[in-house]
Every structure is written in structure tokens, then in C-alpha cells.
Structure 1
Amino acid sequence: MTALRAAAALIGLACLIAPHAPRAQEDADQSDLPPYSAFRRSLLAEGWTPDANYGLKVASGKPLYRFPEVLCGPQICHARWLARGGGEKIVTLRRGGLSDEYRVAR
């Protein structure tokens, strides 16, 4: 049983570290994607409302990610937007590094 736990711990650690390994090719491919902050402003101007209840929050109530409507995995994020008529729009984002701006995926 201990060997299984050790193997599971190693696999879990690899899953956490591997997505954050530097990938020069992906970074180069991401530079031509539009920044989410600009896309977000255009959605607001069109009358869409960010779903602030979609993303995760820390204990203080602040969003876990940069925007309250965003929910992220290791590399991909989704932002949920609501229309006045009840429609919804899910925007797929590329996460990048910790200090990188989210980019709208195509």
C-alpha cells in the first residue's frame, strides 16, 4: 500500500509541475492572440455582464484568478458572460505564466 501511495504522490507531483514547464514554442504562438483585458472591455461595451459567481473565490471573497468570471485549469481558462436576455457566452482563454496576461484562444 505504501508503494502505491508513493507512486500516486509522484504522479500527482508530475501533473502539477509539468504544465508549468517553459514552452518557448507555445509562448511564441500565444503572442499573436488578443489580450483578454481588451476583449473584456469590448464585451462590456456590447452590454454583456461578467458572471462573477462563475470563478472561484478565496476566503476573503476576492477572486482566485485575475477576473471574477474566470475559472482556470493548468493552461486553459474559461470566462462566463451573461446577456440581458438570459443568454450566455463562454470565452476560452490561454493562461500563460503567472505574470502573463490571459489571451483569448481562437
Structure 2
Amino acid sequence: MPRQKVTETEKQILSTLMFREDYETLKQETQLESGVLRDELITMINRGWIEVFDDSESSRKGAVEHTNLRAGLSGGTRTGSSAFYDSDHIDQYSFQATKNGLRGIRHGKI
């Protein structure tokens, strides 16, 4: 698979997601418009550069909590890049850059 160049907007988002952040915090820190941020997040999720965590109230009530042992995080249900998430309500999730995503910050290509 050919390497993909990381855009400046993607670098900005990935830099913010070194630690898990919710959508609103990410929007405030990047100063991106909602539509742009949504599109960029979906693209990077599909590429496996970002993990998605479901922090909604309904997920906490019935779901088994997942612990991300590598990052030492707990709380929320881990959705991951290959699982389902509701792209129409992407503002209900939190996100964290993956190892591959963080490489893009350093090297400019993934």
C-alpha cells in the first residue's frame, strides 16, 4: 500500500489527539469548522490513524467498559477504527491518535 501524505490539517488534528479528547475539545483546540473537522475525522478513522471511543450515556449503562492497556486509559467503550460509529453524531465520541497516526506527525507520510 503506497504511503499517504499527511496534510497540515491532519497534522493539526493528530497533534491534538496524542491523548484522548472529546469532539468539543478537539473543535476548540483546532479552531476548525464542524463540517471540516467531521470530514477529516472520518477520513482518518477510515485510514486507521484515529481510534474512536463511545462516551455516550447509553453505552455506559449496558456496555462492558474497555480498558486501553497500551495507553493506560479506561472508561468509555472503545469503538476502534474497524467497528461501527455513527458519523451523523460524531460529536458524541472522543478520539485518540493511533501509533500509525502519530508517525504521520513525525514523518509527514503514513
Q: Which has the higher contact order (CA 8 A, sep 6+)?
A: 2
- Tell me whether the two structures share a fold, i.e. TM-score over 0.5: no
TM-score of Structure 1 vs Structure 2, range by shorter chain: under 0.3
* TM-score, scaled relative to structure 1: 0.27
Which one has the bigger helix percentage?
2
